[in-house]
Chain A
């Protein structure tokens, strides 16, 4: 079977890759593109560890065919910090101990960033429902939710 040629943009960089028709975006990110920050926790869209954005929309990379990336813009955890300057969410997660093992963290951060772009002033309930697709088995979510709310507040203040 001939491989497909895909032209896309990943974390702002023009990117081309070859993939099998059946390969998922997660397969290609983690394989040939060596962007292993997106994790495979389930392969069925239930855990959110592979959360990325596709043209600004939050998706599970394991549920998207790699070929669907053609002509689109993809952002992954690797594109979240600007150089050595962490995104405020990344910094807040460190300050507030909002991660333990850290395997869900990339997906949670990508999802939380997408939330704050849609809604800069979410309630606790809105944060909890937005992140309901990102499983974390270590933290009980308490510190994650607090870190997202605190970051949102800080970013709102900074924007004023």
Chain B
């Protein structure tokens, strides 16, 4: 292959971590072991809400094989009255989430942890810990938690002057909502509920921690941010960040759920106390009971439009479950809900509601699917009332460059209207439908993010390239970085090795989250590579004894800029690398930035469903996702993000939900009963990538990973209406609910 004739951006190259992943060699969190390693297990609360009066660990500590026991007393306390923000988290809540402090707040809440010579012994010893609980009344669902006489989870939280489970609020206002509705010819107002759903990553949380005698600590774990692991573990254990080396294992899915930690501080304290490396692995049941999920919600959305289809006012009220500690994604729900539309009068509010269930964690575009679900369902009814095509209604009201969004920003170059137009022109939109089939559409928005990113680009002595970045690669970002580096250097992508550094080997990099990774890391990798190219030109100038300004880098080699510069044969990367020591030393560059200019992502989806009216199963039979992807650096993995997001949205809409029993325990804490889509549930998921480059990014990159999960909930619900003539106002549209609705259509509402 002629290395100078290839352009790599936009090519489906083979990922740098690929061969390891298809041969079973890639090392994920639970795959690591250390000499002398022992096993940690967590004792979890059997009650959904209880005061912890005392904990007696003496019998467990005396059990043969037990090497250490920890409780909340071993974890740094963060008093409830002093906020300690860390990213979007608050250490007051993190310290109470990793280990119950004053109270156990949900069934499965960690109460103590044991390390022993085997997993079995650690589990036995957990049973020997005596906890004196004062069981309290509990509230699981939002409606129970916001009732006037609801059990209060935290007496320090007040709302409107009274102790409350409403832990926070958020409000976006634009224009005058009353004036807006006064102009409307059609007003539709509806209320909705969605159920909490788990991120469902296949890899349970796991870590291996070694605290050496001198306090030097190594953490091997899978997360969406090794620097987050380091920072949170340091704060919760009292170690300094420089003493912790957090190594990012390959991560077996996260979807937001691994943007916080659960086990690392417990394993750190167990290792510190025992003097042994400690490995901890959650069971799938523990993952379901005590990690994630995202919020369930209650919402009301009201939209007013004129006869000709102009939306003049929109109002949304969202109550989201936070779980046991504050922090639901109300910003994503209330902020993203109306963002695709240019509406003069908007009022959007969010309420953060705590209740006795596991603390929510981010899940792909946190809150945005909830926000969009209600809005896109109401829009379907507005379109029907206006006798207007639902895509035409969306196009007529589409936000565009210069539109001021209700959540604040003025939109720059963006491609929402293009997604709607592409959907309208696509053959799918006009394709005939069969019996019991229906078609629905919906749109969605996600903020996307930039933030801190670091990269180091080094030229090896034999003239190849090693790129190190600081964001865990969750779905192919290393492949995209290889494409970009190869493109800039004009060399074959296989000469570029891309690695994820640990906290000791690369500079601070923010979480893999917010669809930031390629946006941010491509920026720092580009700047680093440009510096390397400048150095390469300087070295060539030295060899040729000409002015560095007279050298250009083209097609993988330094060349004289023109005839005036002199006549020299090109110097390749390998030739310059070979002479690096003679011309000034090793060649490499690192760049660290707080990246800005990440612009939002928009998508519009078309969904066809077929309902088996005998057994109530809704099957998605055709699906097409249209998205402004900025620039598809590696198209295969962009399509993969779109398809994966759609599949998760289908699960959310049709089957997935947490079911609690009368004792406040999750009743379906396993993959058999928590029904995620399996291969035979889904059709092929067609993708249409619309490339409107982000002008604020060197390659035009726009985050692509999250917005694909935003439209599906409403697209599927609107398709079910088209098939059955029944509008659902609560998710999931699972077989029992569909059967009930078919027998009694008003039940759906």
Contact = CB atoms under 8 A, between A and B. Distances in A.
B289 to A, nearest CB: 14
B381 to A, nearest CB: 29
B203 interface: yes
B607 to A, nearest CB: 13
Interface of A is mostly: loop
Interface of B is mostly: loop
Contact of B685 (A97, A100, A109, A142): A142
A140 interface: yes
B284 A141 contact: no
Interface string B606-648: 0000000000000000000000000000101101110111111
Interface of A: 30, 35-44, 46-47, 49, 76-78, 80-81, 86, 90, 93-97, 99-106, 109, 124-125, 127-129, 131-146
Given A42-B671, A44-B672, A142-B684, A100 B25 contact: no
A49 B24 contact: no
A145 B252 contact: no
Interface stretch (B9-17, B319-327, B422-430, B715-723): B9-17
B476 interface: yes
Given A44-B671, A46-B670, A136 B202 contact: yes
B678 interface: yes
Interface in B663-679: 670-672, 676-679
Given A77-B24, A100-B637, A42 B284 contact: yes
Interface in B198-232: 199-204
B384 interface: no
B19 A94 contact: yes
B26 A144 contact: no
B202 A41 contact: yes
B30 to A, nearest CB: 7
A145 B647 CA distance: 14
B19 to A, nearest CB: 7
A86 to B, nearest CB: 7
Interface string B251-269: 1111100000000000000
Contact of B202 (A44, A95, A96, A135): A135
**Which 10 A-B pairs have CB atoms at the shortest separation, nearest pair first?**
A37-B24, A103-B252, A97-B636, A140-B647, A102-B21, A46-B671, A140-B643, A77-B24, A100-B475, A90-B22
B643 A143 contact: yes
B28 A39 contact: yes
Nearest to A103: B252
15 contacts: A30-B30, A37-B25, A44-B672, A80-B23, A90-B23, A96-B12, A100-B476, A102-B21, A102-B22, A103-B203, A137-B200, A137-B648, A140-B643, A140-B644, A140-B648
* Chain B interface size, under 10 / 10 to 19 / 20 to 34 / 35 or more: 35 or more
Interface in B294-321: none
A35 B679 contact: no
A18 to B, nearest CB: 14
B682 interface: yes
Interface centre among A39, A43, A125 (most CB of B within 10 A): A39
Interface of B: 12, 14-15, 17-19, 21-28, 30-31, 199-204, 250-255, 281, 283-284, 474-476, 634, 636-637, 639-641, 643-648, 670-672, 676-682, 684-685
Contacts of A94: 14-15, 18-19, 22
Given A30-B30, A39-B252, A97-B640, 12 more contacts: A36-B31, A100-B641, A101-B252, A102-B17, A103-B202, A129-B679, A133-B678, A137-B255, A141-B677, A141-B682, A143-B640, A144-B679
A36 B28 CA distance: 9
A102 B254 CA distance: 12
A67 to B, nearest CB: 17
B24 A76 contact: yes
B283 to A, nearest CB: 6
Nearest to A124: B684
A105 B21 contact: yes
A133 B25 CA distance: 22
A124 B255 CA distance: 28
A124 B683 CA distance: 10
A41 B647 CA distance: 19
Nearest to A76: B24
Nearest to A99: B21
A146 B636 CA distance: 13
Contacts of B199: 137
A86 B671 contact: no
Nearest to A97: B636
A141 B22 contact: no
A97 B25 contact: no
B686 to A, nearest CB: 9
A160 B740 CA distance: 54
A39 B682 contact: no
A101 B31 contact: no
Contacts of B204: 40-41
